[in-house]
Amino acid sequence: MNFYAIRAIYKFEMARTWRTLLQSIVSPVVSTALYFVVFGAAIGSRITAIDGVSYGAFIVPGLIMLSLLTQSISNASFGIFFPKFTGTIYELLSAPVSSIEIVIGYVGAAATKSIILGLIILATAGLFVPLEIAHPLWMLAFLVLTAVTFSLFGFVLGIWADGFEKLQLVPLLIITPLIFLGGSFYSVDMLPPFWQTVTLFNPVVYLISGFRWSFYGIADVSVGVSLAMTTLFLVICLGTVWWIFKTGYRLKT
């Protein structure tokens, strides 16, 4: 394992974050704060509690997941797409660096940035609502697992995209609607039986449910199922990345 190569890629990607601090960190935190103002204050004042948890506190895990998923995909996809766009990826492919080391460097940096952002949003949420974390270790485990999984997904997306339009297509038209319809701002139990069944086909439901359980001990689906679904998606992304490097799909063309 070439740790020098991994470190070089990792440091380069992390340095880009500090150069674009306003876009990478400040903007998502401000957006999340606005969600608290609108949903927590305006709507939360009309909803007493959900499963014994105040509405403002109930939406915290969903808001963290909203930022975590979108930023993980954005960071990883742009990180690998930009070298493709400028043509510098050929220098990387011709260097004595294995595909595993490339993936660890790019995905590790994207996941690290997303985890830092998630923790900052968690701290920001504490300024608006009283928080309690029933299972802190599980909370960190879900945070890391989700960040790594969707950073891998973003890495795949960045390789697949051949233009900036496609780079934004999947997050805007697929991922964001799935997050909003995945129980970020409500409990699945509040829906009619038919829509509860339909919602269970949304994979984001399992992420948010498991993450919310780590805070308050309540969940829309079994925690074991949430963990299994997240792990399954991680395996699928790993398999896709392996296939891409094995075939050279959109890397060498």
Q: Percent of the chain scored above 70 by pLDDT?
A: 95
**Which DSSP symbol is given to 22?**
I
Query: Which residues touch 108 (CB under 8 Å, ≥6 apart)?
Result: 6, 10
pLDDT class for 44, splitting at 50, 70, 90? Answer: low
Per-domain residue ranges of the chain: 3-247
* pLDDT above 80: residue 161: yes
CA–CA distance, 65 with 70 (Å, rounded to integer): 8
- The overall average pLDDT reported for the chain is 86
Q: What is the pLDDT of residues 132-151, one digit of tens each?
A: 899 999 999 999 999 999 99
Furthest CA-CA distance within the chain: 60
Residue type, 88: T
Q: What is the pLDDT of residues 193-239, one digit of tens each?
A: 888 888 889 989 999 999 999 999 988 888 999 999 999 999 999 99
Residue type, 152: L
